[in-house]
Amino acid sequence: MAAVLLRECGHGAGWRRVGGEARCEACGVVRFTEYGALRPPGLPQIVTPVGGARRADRGAARMVSRAAWRPVWWGQRPGGA
């Protein structure tokens, strides 16, 4: 099926509802009406990083938190030159 670019559709032609989705009769856009999160049954398994992985996670978090406070000027050399 080829993708078709439509500029405007008010979806005034109505919706055809089949199997958890609704399709516009005019342009064919799909809206999912029965969406549910996709997750296997049961509770998720708890995974705790140990040793080097924990240090790496903390180091990455520290780097991101420091970068958020520092203004970044893309395309400029250090010192504003």
DSSP string, 19-62: TTEEEETTT--EEESS------SSPPPP----THHHHHHHHHHH
Cα separation, 11 vs 21, in Å, equals 15
In tens, the pLDDT along 23-72 reads: 988 888 888 887 776 777 788 777 776 777 888 888 889 888 887 666 66
Could you tell me the residue ranges of all domains in the chain? 47-71
**The pLDDT of residue 20:** 83
Which of 56, 79, 59 lies closest to 67, judged by CA?
A: 59
Decide: 28 and 39 in contact? Cβ < 8 Å. no
Q: Which residues are 18's β-sheet partners?
A: 21
In the numeric block, the tokens 């203004």 are attached to: 71
